[in-house]
Each structure stands twice: as structure tokens, then as C-alpha cells.
Structure 1
Amino acid sequence: MGHNHSCTCPQVILMGLDSAGKSTLLAHLLTGQVMDTSPTIGFNVGNLDLDKKTSLTVWDVGGQKSMRTNWRFYLDDCQVLVFVVDSSDHARMSEAQKALKKILSDEKLRGVPLMVLANKKDLPNSMTIREVSTLLDLPGLVGRRWQIQACSALQGLGLNQAFTSINKMIKKN
């Protein structure tokens, strides 16, 4: 899946810890199906057609600890950063918060809006978006537009709404 530089589609980047559900989410967006995914080494990329006029290039970047140092190489031309968290994984929220803070401090993301997807809302112990936004310290973000939305990549819930909102964020910027 080489990157086609002639595509002037807005670039959207999915980041988040390993096992947050980024690849499942991208696969569901692109195919409408649930696929078995293995940990992403490097990245997956696909074009998502929102409507006849609008298409987004969506990058899904591996989230394992060893990969996170490479995240900054994907930030050129990023129009919206989509940070995916597993909303049922209470134990890793502080790790997610640190990873998010670190990437948002990158100069290339100055002024780039943030969409947080609280994934796995189909699980009984998942946190509310209010809990997730507090644990990620989203209210403390200064000078950046952000939104948070609950979704389930497994069930396909909330994905279309999320990407409709992401498209609006791009148009506003």
C-alpha cells in the first residue's frame, strides 16, 4: 500500500497505544467488516470515501512502545490527529495520556485539531467519555480544538459519526 503523493486528500492519522483498536477501526471503516488484526509493525494506510466529493487518507500507525518513537515521522500534512484509546483499559490510561501529551508537543501538530475515539464502548466495563477525557487531561489542552467520541470498532458503532465530525474539523481549520 504505497503512499500515493498525487492524492491531495486530507491526511488523518490514527495513533494510540497498542491494542487500542486502531487497525480494527481502519479495517471496519474501509471494508465494513471486522477483521482479525495482528499488532501493526510500521503502518497501514487507506483512503476513506466519506461522500462523492470527500475522501480522507487515513494512516494507522503501530502503537507498541518500540514504535512510538517513529510517530513523529508521520505528522507531515496531518490535518486531524485521531487518538484511539481502549476505554475499557483503566490500567493504561496514564500511559495513553503521556503518549498523547508527548505527540501533541510536536511542532508539526501546532494548531492541528484532535479527535479522541474512546473505543470498545461495547465492553461492559468501558469508561464514559467524561472519564476518559478527564484521565487524558483533555480539558487542560490549551490552544487546540478537540472532541471526544465513544465508538466500537468491533461493532462499527460511532465510526461514521466520528469521521463526519473529523471532516468538519478539517473544513473549519
Structure 2
Amino acid sequence: MLKKLNGEDIDEISPTVGFNIKTLEYNGFKLNMWDVGGQKSIRSYWRNYFEQTDGLIWVVDSADVDRMEDCKRELKTLLIEERLIGASLLVLANKQDLPSSVKAEHIEQLLDLPSLKSHHWKIFACSAVTGDNLVHALDWMCADISERLYNLE
């Protein structure tokens, strides 16, 4: 996703192992983005990247329903982290270009997002391959963060 948003070649897409850091200039915002892999072996390191986080983008594989319970559990665990309090949550239901993908509305229920009261959140159906809906999703996140930070001043 980060490569697609940054206009990089995406001919070969593979899961993030470890992390990638990119700074993206977007609609007047300077976004420092950390793409952190989701493998179980590196989840304990996630907390190293929470300092000064204004927004969290949670990418879900829409074609892998079997992992939704694990995904829900990990997300709920993350959102109680003190350094993520108040961060905007953007959930990307990725791989919508695949016939086996589950609709974003169904993923919203599987992750129990409506019960989430501690963070502003929104879910978008998208595809990292086609780029569908990535701009709309990022627009929402930037607007939500901007509105929240502006109201704090």
C-alpha cells in the first residue's frame, strides 16, 4: 500500500518483513509512515513505533477470513496502548480485487468495530494492486487527524 501511495513500482508485492519507513507529502501534510509487518514473530516489536502516533492504518486481508479473530484480538490489544490513545484508526479491507474477498461491511462486524468507542475509526474497501479507494481512505485519515489536532489547540 505504501509503495502504491508513494508512486513506486508494485510489480512484485510481498508481505512486509520487519519494517519500512517512508515520508509521504500528501495534500499539504507530511506523513511519516511506518509499514510494520504483521508476522507473529515481530508483533512484540510494534510498540517501538508508537511514539507520537496520530493515526494508525490497520490493513486486513479481505480474502483470509480464517485470520479475522486473530486480527481482531491483536487490534484490540494495540488500541489499549497508552501511546495510541486518541489516534485515528483507518482500517483497510485490502484485496478487494480478489473474487474470494469479503466485503468491508462484513469485516467491520468480524472485527467488532462498532463497539470501539476509544478511537475515531473508519473502514474502507481497497486494493493495493489497483489502488482503488486508497486516496479516499488517506483523505479521511488526514482530515480526521487534522480536525482532532486543531480542536486541541
Fold similarity call, TM over 0.5: yes
**Paired residues of 1:61 and 1:71 also in contact (CA < 8 A):** yes
Structure 2 distance, partners of 1:150, 1:37, is 18
**How do 1:9-158 and structure 2 match up within 5 A?**
25-51=1-27, 53-158=28-133
Taking only aligned residues, the RMSD between alpha carbons, in angstroms, comes to 1.3
Structure 1 distance, partners of 2:43, 2:11, is 24
The runs of 5 or more residues in structure 2 that have no matched partner are 149-153
4+ residue segments displaced more than 3 Å: none
Structure 2 distance, partners of 1:35, 1:169, is 32
The runs of 5 or more residues in structure 1 that have no matched partner are 1-24
Q: Helix, strand or coil for the counterpart of 2:130?
A: coil
For residue 88 of structure 1, report the CA deviation from its aligned partner. 1.1
Give the aligned length.
148
Higher relative contact order (CA 8 A, sep 6+): 1
For residue 32 of structure 1, report the CA deviation from its aligned partner. 4.8
**Paired residues of 2:54 and 2:86 also in contact (CA < 8 A):** no
**Paired residues of 1:27 and 1:35 also in contact (CA < 8 A):** no
**Paired residues of 1:32 and 1:156 also in contact (CA < 8 A):** no
**Paired residues of 1:28 and 1:35 also in contact (CA < 8 A):** no
**Identity fraction in percent:** 42
Q: Deviations over 1:45-98 (max 9, x none)?
A: 1111213x2221111001100100111110001111110001111111111111
